[in-house]
Amino acid sequence: MQVTIKVFRYNPEKDKKPGYKTYKLDAIETDRVLDLLEKVKGYQDGTLSFRRSCAHGICGSDAMRINGFNRLACKTLVRDTGAKITVEPILGLKVIKDLIVDMEPFFENFRSVMPYFVNDEPEPAQERYQSPAERERFDDTTKCILCACCTTSYPSFWANDKYLGPAAIVTAHRFIFDSRDRAAAERLKILNDVFGIHRCHTIFNCTLACPREIQVTKAIGEVKMALVTGKLD
Amino acid sequence: MKTHQFEVIVVGAGGAGLMAGLYASKTAKTAVISKLYPTRSHTGTAQGGIGAALASEEEDHPEWHTFDSVKGSDYLGDQDAIEFMCEEAIPAIYELEHMGLPFDRTPDGKISQRPFGGHTNNITGKPVRRACHAADRTGHMILQTLYQQCIKNNVTFYDEFQVVDLLMVNPQTTGVSGATAGVVAIELASGEMHVFHAKAVIFATGGHGRIWEITSNAYSFTGDGPAITMRRGLPLEDMEFFQFHPTGIYKLGILITEGVRGEGGILINGQGERFMEKYAPTVKDLASRDVISRAIYLEIREGRGVNGQNYVYLDVRPESVNKYAALDGRKNLDGTPFVVTGEQILAKLPDIVDFCRVYLGVDPLTQPMPIQPTAHYAMGGIPTNMYGEAIKDEKNSLVPGLYAAGEVACVSVHGANRLGTNSLVDLVVFGKYAGLRAAEFAKGASYQPLPPDPAEFAHAQFDQFLTSDGTENAFDIAREMKKVMFDDMGIFRSGKGMQNALKKVRELQARFKHVRVADSGKIFNMELINAWELGNLLDLAEVTTVSAIARTESRGGHSREDYPDRDDKKWLKHTMAYLRPNGKIDLKYKPVVITKYEPKVRTY
Ligand SMILES: Cc1cc2nc3c(=O)[nH]c(=O)nc-3n(C[C@H](O)[C@H](O)[C@H](O)COP(=O)(O)OP(=O)(O)OC[C@H]3O[C@@H](n4cnc5c(N)ncnc54)[C@H](O)[C@@H]3O)c2cc1C
Ligand code: SF4
Ligand code: FES
């Protein structure tokens, strides 16, 4: 089949303002949008720039707005998009070139929630024990690949990139509910203080956007509950 | 051009690079440079597990792990290094756990382990539970955990900086390189060249599986590290050995972990037969990867692919798993028969189920998965000893200040064929030692002088893409390389086919000189970067093929139809390939280290 792919283009070295370019190419239903971008780059316009690496939805490089929704280009097939495809950078982060945005504010938020395991008790010679149920408690949020699909689908983030955003809260959740970790209280304090969690209006944008199918809204809800009750169950 | 100074520079932020960075930064001023944001590294895609003889649930010993790895390597692995790795694997896993890595757990709270190809109980010969896992995203959890620890410990990063050259004192002049002085890198966001003046440099840039058409490897696996060191006169070891993983998604190459077979999945040909019974009567679907990939290839060649096509089925439907488990008499640890439900499979292999649903429209709980072997892992690479110190000749002389760890390195612990779960072990064990040794070296060394124009060689390599006549297209060249390498330098090889591949690769190298990039900008000029990466792949394809043609035997991942047997008299040795200043590739050899295990015939 023939598909038309309309791509947001902006090269600050040349263009006064951003625009769109449209490319036509042959595709099959099982082609990934990433495959199409690669083909455009290879044969129609080498100057098109975007990030990618794993090509199967695990590394988190290629979050884009595809037909208006935040998606990974490598996990979105022509089967899902149909023959008319529009590809734009994710919103709320500065465009550096074409589909590449400045991820630094996103990672800064990630780093601000103590995104690392804390337990200063003496280390046992072997593993710290954890029951399968305790392990299961935070399983969902360990899947996050920091792609930013959730955070940049979020109106509060577009308005203010200091707003922590769902991804940072998902990361905090992964540690707060880990029975081996000892810094839950500190993390909750951070989440409470800085432009925190209370702005979440549970509109589920973020859950729908997550390519890892993490129950983002649920995780945020659980963190919120822990803040209110001071309990972690 | 900016110049920075660090005692230790780590190139690469995957499992090996982060581990090296964590350890080196404890005592030396260290920076980690990575072309990808660290969490995008390929380590994150590793699925099935990381091996160590923890004996969480059943008897196991590092000696068994060692023997299995030696046998898996088809006796080409250096036995002292393998023994070291298998012993160090145990504390390494506990260290990862202490860093917070969320391993799956046994009912009594210990780290859970699953069977994996080639890992056995050395007494019964049956599969043993040795692979520690976090569902089917073990690599993701390792990468995240190590990166999180780097944040905690304030490790310095240069993200999205691509290293393009290694600076040495007297490179190439004598054919033997001198001491390390640093690296040159391009900052992708600005296109500027930066010089990193360093006492020690650790390469941890991963593999080069993008040489082949069907591959499990990321776009970023372009072999930058070995291409850079080779151009500086350093040898590459055992490049003819590249692993084809038996189970890639048909046509796409996306990996379906061996963990699927560890959980009871079986391979079925077009006639509905469980064909591995013929090829590996004892461990069947859990034989070593090279053995299974060849079996699949033979089934397909003899017309027993599914519907006459180039694929077979991997079947993990609960009814199939249970049927064959009953036939095998497979038992749980408590002696009850092994039985699984769809939910249990989904819980253990969620990502695999997701990949199949998304990319194939197939639900593996109710339909078998179409699979074919896929290019997967580089056993060869930058030669090192078992402390990550780079080696420059057949006598194992060291290159002062140069280190390598992870898939880019050849220690050699994987020999002619790597066992599943042993790469992740390799990353954490040798990443750590490379970091420690580099920091120790840096304490006792001074900075080597930088050459007058440190970026000269790097500029020369990039300028060609802006000035050539532009009569060739890089994508066409890449496509043709991948095809010929998959057809003629794949699972089965022959003298004639390999000669054909070499001729073609050399023709492509010549055509490559005519590639011109359209993008003349500086900011994220990915076209320019990708062109340079293609040059790396072409050069590595050439070394791989030259090394393979010379080896007139079959061993592990290198399987020749014209020389079907292993020949220990002539070929129990490592290849050391050098790119000489005149452009010729020169092959030398060095002995394999044998300690306890004399080579034996390899059956599974
Ligand atoms: C799909 C898949 C599944 C796997 N499953 C398993 C498994 O279950 N068990 C197992 O043991 N092994 C597995 N492996 C193998 C294992 O994951 C890899 O061998 C290993 O992760 C490689 O790690 P690394 O640290 O060497 O490289 P990577 O993690 O790939 O890191 C390479 C780093 O180098 C950087 N880099 C590269 N070139 C440059 C440059 N020029 N300049 C700057 N930076 C650069 C990259 O940005 C990246 O940070 C799997 C591999 C794949 C592909
Ligand atoms: S929670 Fe989901 S959408 Fe958000 S960053 Fe993580 S993986 Fe991406
Ligand atoms: S390229 Fe890795 S997630 Fe899409």
- Domain boundary assignment for chain B: 249-373, 456-567
* Contact criterion met (CB < 8 Å) for A130 and B218: no
Q: Counting ligands in written order, which one lies closest to the CA of residue A152? A: 2
- Minimal Cβ distance to A43: which of B109, B475, B517: B475
**A60 CB within 6 A, ligand 3:** yes
* Contact criterion met (CB < 8 Å) for A116 and B45: no
Mutate to test the interface with B, among A38, A58, A213 (most CBs of B within 10 A): A58
Q: What is the pLDDT of residue A201?
A: 66
Higher pLDDT, B532 or B581: B532
* Contact criterion met (CB < 8 Å) for B45 and A56: yes
- The C-alpha atoms of residue A113 and residue A151 are separated, in whole angstroms, by 15
| Chain B residues inside the 8 Å CB shell of A55 | 218-219, 254
- The C-alpha atoms of residue B375 and residue B209 are separated, in whole angstroms, by 6
Beta carbons of B401 and B446 less than 8 angstroms apart? no
Query: How close is the nearest chain A Cα to the Cα of B27, in Å?
Result: 21
- The C-alpha atoms of residue B28 and residue B26 are separated, in whole angstroms, by 6
Q: Which CATH number fits domain A2-101: 3.40.640.10, 3.40.50.970, 3.40.50.2300, 3.10.20.30?
A: 3.10.20.30
In eight-state DSSP terms, residue A141 is G
| Chain A residues inside the 8 Å CB shell of B361 | 30, 79
Quote ipTM for the complex: 0.96
- The C-alpha atoms of residue B62 and residue B82 are separated, in whole angstroms, by 10
Beta carbons of B446 and B167 less than 8 angstroms apart? no
pTM equals 0.97
* Contact criterion met (CB < 8 Å) for B254 and A97: no
H-helix or E-strand containing A185? helix A184-193
Average pLDDT of the segment spanning B345-349:
91
Distances (CA, A) of B510 to A168, B485, B497, B506, B514: 49, 17, 20, 6, 8
Nearest residue of chain B to residue A44 (CA atoms)? B518
| Chain A residues inside the 8 Å CB shell of B44 | 54, 58-59, 145
Phi-psi region of B409 (alpha: psi -120 to 50; beta: other; left: phi over 0): beta
Does B123 have pLDDT greater than 70? Answer: yes
Residue ranges of chain A that CATH labels 1.10.1060.10? 104-229
User: Could you tell me which residues come within 8 angstroms of residue B432 by beta carbon, excluding any fewer than 6 positions away?
Assistant: B19, B20, B22, B23, B92
Query: Atom 6 of ligand 2 has which residue's CA nearest to it?
Result: A144
Residues B151-187: tens digit of each pLDDT = 999 999 999 999 999 999 976 544 456 799 999 999 9
B353: three-class secondary structure by DSSP: helix
Helix axes B495-512, B474-488, angle to 10 degrees: 170
B371: three-class secondary structure by DSSP: strand
Length of chain A: 233
Average pLDDT of the segment spanning A64-93:
97
The structure tokens listed for B134 are 């976090």
* Contact criterion met (CB < 8 Å) for A97 and B36: no
- A213 reaches B (C-beta below 8 A): yes
- The C-alpha atoms of residue B414 and residue B429 are separated, in whole angstroms, by 14
What is the position in ligand 3's atom list of the atom closest to the CA of A55?
1
CATH number of the domain at A104-229, please?
1.10.1060.10
Average pLDDT of the segment spanning B466-483:
96
Dihedral (C-alpha) B280, B282, B284, B289: value to the nearest 10 degrees?
Answer: -60
What fold characterizes domain B456-567? Methane Monooxygenase Hydroxylase; Chain G, domain 1 (1.20.58)
A177: three-class secondary structure by DSSP: coil
**Active-site residue set of B:** 289
| Strands A84-88 and A2-9, sheet pairing | parallel
| Chain A residues inside the 8 Å CB shell of B94 | 125-127
Residue ranges of chain A that CATH labels 3.10.20.30? 2-101
Mutate to test the interface with A, among B97, B344, B480, B482 (most CBs of A within 10 A): B97
Beta carbons of A166 and A79 less than 8 angstroms apart? no
Summary mean pLDDT of chain A: 93
- A123 reaches B (C-beta below 8 A): yes
The dihedral sign for the CA sequence B96, B350, B421, B62: positive
Percent of chain B at pLDDT > 70 equals 99
Q: What is the pLDDT of residue A230?
A: 78
Q: What class has domain B249-373?
A: alpha beta
What is the position in ligand 2's atom list of the atom closest to the CA of A216?
1
Q: What is the pLDDT of residue B175?
A: 47
Nearest residue of chain B to residue A136 (CA atoms)? B104
Phi then psi for A130, rounded to 5 degrees?
A: -155, 130
| Chain B residues inside the 8 Å CB shell of A177 | none
Nearest residue of chain B to residue A127 (CA atoms)? B94
Task: Tell which B residues from 17 to 36 touch A, by Cβ distance under 8 Å.
Answer: 36
Nearest residue of chain A to residue B150 (CA atoms)? A116
pLDDT tier, A202 (very low <50, low <70, confident <90, very high otherwise): low
